[in-house]
Amino acid sequence: MTGGSTLVNLLDFDLDGLAAWCEGLGEKRFRAVQLFRWIHQKGAADFAQMSDLAKSLRDKLSGAAELRGLQVISEQRSADGTVKWLFDVGGGNAVESVFIPEDDRGTLCISSQAGCAVGCRFCSTGHQGFSRNLTTGEIVAQLWFAEHRLRAAANSQERQIDNVVMMGMGEPLQNYAALVPALTIMLDDHGYGLSRRRVTVSTSGVVPMIDRLREDCPAALAVSLHAPDDALRDQLVPLNRKYPLAELLATCRRYLDAAPRDFITFEYCMLDGVNDAPEQAQELVRLVSGQSAASRGVGRVPCKLNLIPFNPFPASGLKRSPRERVIAFAKVLQDAGIVTTIRKTRGDDIAAACGQLAGEVQDRTNARERLARRRETIPIAVAGDAA
Ligand code: SAH
Ligand code: SF4
């Protein structure tokens, strides 16, 4: 979608950035506010729609800027209401966003990178390798598109997305410069007006960037733990070799000083015979209570545990833990007083779960052909929930 355009993409700007850019056009800040609201609150896709802006300004805008969204490759709707979009980000790369409706709220899961450099064993994005960072505009475009698409489908002007989780493709804290303005737009009352508690950054543990996020934009934090000790975590999440558990937990404790919630969410992907034994649950209790070798110097980290059933893909060579084993693992944690949830699998029929980009992801050298194939056979799935 880059296409050599010289026009500025206004989706790249948070309100301060837009105000500075408007100033360059000789326009006052309140014009930037109007423009920002047209874009994000009303979902205007071109300047001609912006009826309360002077015609002369609209002409000036069309000559210098554009609203460059993402090209949709496919839209799939699950029997349970989950919607998955696959977006083309150019160069043979695609990213996904998933909307998960619940009784009391709607959650959108969005991507921060095409591919990911962290290379976790159990993640299909990790197996794909890293292609590139998304721009702020490309991160925000996922929300911009989904929110207004869902409003149109519901024939409503009401907010459809109350919750954003950065749990799609990519490691958000390895794309920090683009992430922070994107979060700012989501939180801005003139933008999406989302509560800080309802915008969650999920990270595999980029320690220095967690500290920066605490300073710059302390959204809710989810940390992908997946193992109770360094030896196993080194294997599953290679970044652990750089930032081991003691450092990660100490950073999580510090984050709580600024966090919008008084706990950290730890994600733990349940892998059959790898990290799901009751003894490992006990070790996990010791870890977050400040009683294990890795956490003795850190102390207790107030947290919630979110156990994620592994979504298998062939290249991983791993299997999902049996349900009883997940329940037994959860019980050890709950008996120790740790609030623990088991994530419901949603949208199984459209491969909408975490780390499942479009099913059969191979290596990214094939991405171009894969995209071409997919454009020809966009599957609209409706099978029942297989979970
Ligand atoms: N890079 C960030 C955010 C994207 S991954 C992170 O790792 O936190 C979002 C979540 O999906 C993470 O908790 C990740 O561990 C989990 N995940 C990745 N692949 C998965 C799979 N195949 N099955 C279940 N969860 C998976
Ligand atoms: Fe990257 Fe997160 Fe997947 Fe690990 S789990 S490879 S950090 S997207």
- Percent of the chain whose pLDDT exceeds 90: 86
Parallel, antiparallel, or unpaired: how do β-strands 339-342 and 303-309 relate?
A: parallel
34 versus 2: the higher-pLDDT residue is 34
Name the β-bridge partners of 268. 307
Asked if residue 294 has pLDDT above 70, the reply is yes
Give catalytic residue positions: 96, 354
* Cα 58 from Cα 30, distance rounded (Å): 15
Name the β-bridge partners of 115. 130
Query: What is the distance of C-alpha 135 from the center of its chain?
Result: 14
Domain boundaries, the chain: 8-66, 71-385
Domain formed by 71-385, architecture: Alpha-Beta Barrel (3.20)
Mean pLDDT of the chain: 90
Q: What is the pLDDT of residue 353?
A: 63
Sign of the CA dihedral with 306 first, then 142, 157, and 221 last: positive
Q: Burial letters for 119-141: b for 16+ Cβ neighbours within 10 Å, e otherwise? A: bbbbbbbbbbebbebbbbbbbbb
What's the pLDDT band for 300 if we cut at 50, 70, 90? Answer: very high
Contact present, 169 and 96 (Cβ < 8 Å): yes
Q: In what order do the strands lie in the sheet with 163-166?
A: 71-77, 83-88, 94-101, 106-109, 163-166, 199-203, 220-224, 264-270, 303-309, 339-342
User: For the chain, where are the alpha helices, taking DSSP H only?
Assistant: 15-24, 29-36, 55-64, 124-128, 136-154, 176-187, 207-216, 230-236, 245-255, 278-288, 323-335, 367-376
CATH number of this structure's domain 8-66: 1.10.150.530
* Cα 68 from Cα 247, distance rounded (Å): 40
Model confidence over 81-104: pLDDT tens digits?
999 999 999 999 999 999 999 999
Q: How many A from CA of 266 to the centre of ligand 2?
A: 14
Helix (H) or strand (E) holding 385: none
Pocket flag, ligand 1, residue 204 (CB < 6 Å)? yes
Helix (H) or strand (E) holding 159: none
User: What are the residues whose beta carbons fall under 8 Å from the beta carbon of 238, sequence distance 6 or more?
Assistant: 118, 119, 120
Q: What is the pLDDT of residue 345?
A: 77
Nearest atom within ligand 2 for CA of residue 125? 3
Both tokens of 88, joined, read 């083309």
Model confidence over 330-372: pLDDT tens digits?
999 999 999 999 998 777 777 666 555 544 333 333 444 444 4
Nearest ligand atom owner, CA of 111: 1
* Cα 133 from Cα 178, distance rounded (Å): 8
Q: What is the pLDDT of residue 354?
A: 56
Model confidence over 165-191: pLDDT tens digits?
999 999 999 999 999 999 999 999 999
Nearest atom within ligand 1 for CA of residue 202? 8
- Residue 373 exposed, middle or buried by CB count within 10 Å (0-12, 13-18, 19+): exposed
Q: Burial letters for 83-117: b for 16+ Cβ neighbours within 10 Å, e otherwise? A: bbbbbbbeebbbbbbbbbbeeeebbbbbbbbbbbe
Sign of the CA dihedral with 377 first, then 378, 384, and 387 last: positive
* Cα 364 from Cα 214, distance rounded (Å): 33
Nearest atom within ligand 1 for CA of residue 309? 24
Indicate the DSSP class of residue 222.
Answer: E
Contact present, 240 and 231 (Cβ < 8 Å): no
Ligand 2 pocket mutation, candidates 134, 204, 268, 271, criterion most atoms within 8 A of CB: 204
pTM of the model: 0.91
Q: What are phi and psi of 340, to 5 degrees?
A: -130, 130
Of 202, 286, 306, the closest CA to residue 245 belongs to 286
Q: Which residue has the tokens 């998304």?
A: 134
Q: How many A from CA of 222 to the centre of ligand 2?
A: 13
On the question of a common fold for 8-66 and 71-385, the answer reads no
| Atom 24 of ligand 1: nearest residue by CA position | 310
Of 210, 46, 40, 213, the closest CA to residue 140 belongs to 40
Model confidence over 133-156: pLDDT tens digits?
999 999 999 999 999 999 999 999
Ligand 2 pocket mutation, candidates 95, 118, 201, 237, criterion most atoms within 8 A of CB: 118
Both tokens of 309, joined, read 């059933």
Asked if residue 11 has pLDDT above 70, the reply is yes
